Amino acid sequence: MSDAPLQRNGTAKSPMSCEEAQLHKERLQALAEKRKRQTEIEDKRNQLDDLVLQLQHVKVGPCVQTVIFTDLLTNYNEFQ
């Protein structure tokens, strides 16, 4: 039997060349960076949702609402 690793379908595949290995590594890094960015975006959206809820539940004067709304706009602009 061959020492070559098996693919999912059970057939042997030849070892990766250095170039293929480098491309594979770069692809994995790109996927990890994409997931990290998606997580950051999700966190920002959650923060924005929390601020919207805070703004909806505030029952105080217009000064405090202005402060919260300003914070909301700041976070929204960071999200963009």
Give the chain's length: 80
DSSP designation for 8: T
- Give domain status of residue 5, yes or no: no
Give the total number of structural domains in the chain.
1
Q: Dig out the tokens for 25 from the structure.
A: 């590594």
Its pTM surpasses 0.75: no
Whether residue 62 has pLDDT greater than 90:
no
- Give domain status of residue 44, yes or no: yes
The mean pLDDT of the chain is: 78
Domain extent, residue 35, equals 18-79
pLDDT digits (tens, 9 = 90+) for 13-49: 677 789 999 999 999 999 999 999 999 999 999 998 8
Percent of the chain residues topping a pLDDT of 90: 34
- Give domain status of residue 26, yes or no: yes
- Give domain status of residue 75, yes or no: yes
- Give domain status of residue 4, yes or no: no
- Give domain status of residue 8, yes or no: no
- Give domain status of residue 9, yes or no: no
- Give domain status of residue 7, yes or no: no
